[in-house]
Structure 1
Amino acid sequence: MDILNILLNWAICAYFLCGIYLWLRRYEGDFSRRYLSFTWILAGVLFFLRLLSDELFPCSSGYLVLPVNNLMGGILAIIMLYLYPVRVINSDWFRNKYRNFILIPGLSLIVILSIIHPYCRELKSFEDFLLHIGEFDVILRLVILLLGILPFTVMLFYIPYNYTRSGAYHRWILSYSIKIQLIGALYIMFMLTGNSIISEIHLLVNIYLCTSVTYHELFVRFNVSKEIREQIKVETISPSIDNLITQDDTDSSLVKQIYKLMDEQQIWRDPDLNLIELASMLNTNRSYLSKAIQEAGYKNYSDMINRRRISEFVEMAKTGKIDNVQDAFFSVGFRSRETALRCFKKYIGVLPTDYLRNNVSASDL
């Protein structure tokens, strides 16, 4: 129990610190950080109440199975954890009826639990749970546990998604979903068994989720406003900019098809496109495509795509179309600040702010 209490205290500190820091780093025009800050602080409060409950009302046989208070807190927490990515993936879904579609079922389950709380049997072990599984209040709590957790584990994949208007991308959605699914599975196992080891693993995953999502929100994700996303327009650009994108004469028809897609459809703007999908678009396989990309003078698929994105950024800078570096990187297909800065430094040799400063200084002379 000592390890469990230590982890519980760490989780409380992590949630409160991340929540407060996000609140301090909030800015006008975006609600994501404010909402995530509120979510982390609420989670910290819930874990603090759990710690307080354990100290005031210790159970000699370990944690209870399907305790109503923990069940209500868990459902509320999972709902809050899912509203944040909904906001990031599609901000329209966070408004009005869509938000209520997510909130109302979960809140209804919490209301039902509060009503039946006085009539619920206290279950002190998994064996106790199996012994009374036929009773109405036990069945109802089990159904509420599954209904309140499982549906949310797949919901993110059904939210309408358009990369041009979203601060997310498929890999981030998948990563966040896996983390929540793991938390949900561990929570269900803990609620059914009261096992302290499962609870310890659950707390570790919670701490990782809190810190990793906070880091991504503050230092990785491009958090552009809806107005900026709607202003992004795909424009045809020159196929050759500062020799970053070169189209040497070649006999490879596949290379020509790649350039055609790059120039006409501007596939490099799609942050979710990968080598396999591009191969499918060209009716070839990844091996032949990789060879064709190397024939065109690139190291690999990522090198080709990122060079084109940086080329567009440079062209935008030359024509005075960049008011905000973050917005410009978003428009050319980057969804990670780290990746964008690394690629710019790699291909241009300086940071984008230095490049823009030098460009403006030169143009003013």
Structure 2
Amino acid sequence: MKSLYLATTFAAAIACLLTSLLIFARRKSGERSRIILACIVLFSVANYITRFYALSNGEVPELVISAPMLLLAIFMVISYIMYPIEVISPGYLNTWRIIKLYSPLLFLVLIYNVLKIFGVAFPPFHSLLEMLPHFTRIDVWFRIFLVVLVFTPVVLIFMVPYTRRYNNTDRVWMMKYTICFIVNTIAYIIILISDHLIIKTLYYYVSVGCSIYIAYMELFERLIKQQESNSAETTNEYSKEPEYIEEAEEKTNSLCERVVIHMRRTSDYRNPDISLNSMAASLYTNRTTLSKALRELGYTNFNAYINSLRIEDFINRVKNERIYNYQDIFYNVGFRSRSTAIRNFKQYTGKTPSEYFNK
């Protein structure tokens, strides 16, 4: 049985490594969600390789119920929450929000080190069942608290803010991802309860299977459905605006006109990850030709064009909807941060938003 457990650990590491490399190789230009997912799966590889190396050398790997392993589990759970956040709300994650997301973990690591400094011992236990008879010990209470926290971040997925105009998926994908995430977490809780070798071996199959299924959803389900949805929206736009389309067809249909029509119809500038390459691919042209067309429209570069559309959208929304929470609107029109948005707004209008609207 030990040989099977050792072989399973090695196979899990190889499967996750190949999955991570495949996701990274298939990343789209400017899309961070695949890069985040690839890094998360790569973290699992590091954990599996470490355990395989210890087992191969006859050493005992870190027990799953130990405080460091539980802290690592919380780190992985939080990391798996980052991925759907980036999928559902592209560009929402910035440096400050990532720090806030990991801040509970940093606080727990601090508490763990403070306890060790004050002489609190963390003796090894093989399972929760073995640890429960010693529930009066502070180290046992701390580890039980960590076990509870391993599962609670699952609910954070349902608190992910949706963008109003742009997202990469739907509720069905979110539900399937959440179920997969819960199954993986429950499997981890089970191996915390029992240290039996068969259960630990089965856990690797469940964990790797969940990782591969999430990768499958990312590579083959989510974007296919998004493309179908976009196609349907495009069809609806054609049916709703026949006069507009006929007018466009009567013109020479140059690339400049196609750029303007495309942006009016799709509002792709609201995607914070839009790039010159991705826009060129959407218009079936290359970046050199697209850059030339943007210069003909009067813009010095791609960023100047996109930011001007975002600022115009921002101004229209504040005026028409009378919404004065500038930060939320800046985020909804495609800016990643408030400081970047205000800097571009001032370059475009010569005033800050407060000065512009107070006028």
**Which TM-score band (shorter chain)?**
0.5 to 0.7
Classify 1:202/1:98 alpha carbon distance in 2 versus 1 (closer, same or farther; 3 Å): same
Q: So what's the TM-score if we normalise by structure 1?
A: 0.58
**Aligned 8 A contact 1:89 1:166 in 2:** yes
Structure 1 residue 102 corresponds to structure 2 residue 101: yes
**Aligned 8 A contact 1:121 1:138 in 2:** no
Matches within 5 A, 1:133-152: 133-147=135-149, 149-152=150-153
Partner of 2:193: 192
CA RMSD of aligned residues (A): 3.9
**Aligned 8 A contact 2:134 2:140 in 1:** yes
**Aligned 8 A contact 1:18 1:214 in 2:** yes
Number of aligned residues: 252
SS for the counterpart of 2:126 is coil
**5+ unaligned residues in a row in structure 2: which ranges?**
268-280, 285-359
Matches within 5 A, 1:195-234: 195-222=196-223
**5+ unaligned residues in a row in structure 1: which ranges?**
230-267, 272-305, 332-352, 357-365
Distance in 1, Cα, partners of 2:197 & 2:43: 23
Distance in 2, Cα, partners of 1:123 & 1:157: 34
Q: So what's the TM-score if we normalise by structure 2?
A: 0.59
Distance in 2, Cα, partners of 1:203 & 1:150: 18
Instruction: Write 1 or 2 for the structure with the bigger share of helix.
Output: 2
Counterpart residue identity of residue 167, structure 1: N
**Aligned 8 A contact 1:79 1:103 in 2:** yes
Distance in 1, Cα, partners of 2:132 & 2:30: 52
Q: Deviations over 1:229-263 (max 9, x none)?
A: 9xxxxxxxxxxxxxxxxxxxxxxxxxxxxxxxxxx
**Aligned 8 A contact 1:16 1:40 in 2:** yes
**Aligned 8 A contact 1:65 1:193 in 2:** no
Q: Deviations over 1:19-62 (max 9, x none)?
A: 12222233432212222221111111012112223344545xx9
Classify 1:196/1:120 alpha carbon distance in 2 versus 1 (closer, same or farther; 3 Å): same
Give 1:192 deviation, angstroms.
Answer: 3.2
Matches within 5 A, 1:1-365: 1-56=2-57, 58=59, 64=63, 66-114=65-113, 116=115, 119-147=121-149, 149-162=150-163, 164-222=165-223
Classify 1:153/1:126 alpha carbon distance in 2 versus 1 (closer, same or farther; 3 Å): closer
Distance in 2, Cα, partners of 1:137 & 1:75: 17
> Percent identical across equivalent pairs?
20
Give 1:90 deviation, angstroms.
Answer: 1.3
Give 1:10 deviation, angstroms.
Answer: 2.0
SS for the counterpart of 2:211 is helix
Counterpart residue identity of residue 94, structure 1: L
Classify 1:222/1:122 alpha carbon distance in 2 versus 1 (closer, same or farther; 3 Å): same
Give 1:209 deviation, angstroms.
Answer: 2.1
Q: Deviations over 1:159-215 (max 9, x none)?
A: 122464111210111111111111112212212322333323322222122222222
Q: Deviations over 1:126-167 (max 9, x none)?
A: 5431221221101111102212x2221111111122464111
**Aligned 8 A contact 1:35 1:84 in 2:** yes
Classify 1:329/1:170 alpha carbon distance in 2 versus 1 (closer, same or farther; 3 Å): farther
SS for the counterpart of 2:92 is helix
Classify 1:82/1:196 alpha carbon distance in 2 versus 1 (closer, same or farther; 3 Å): farther
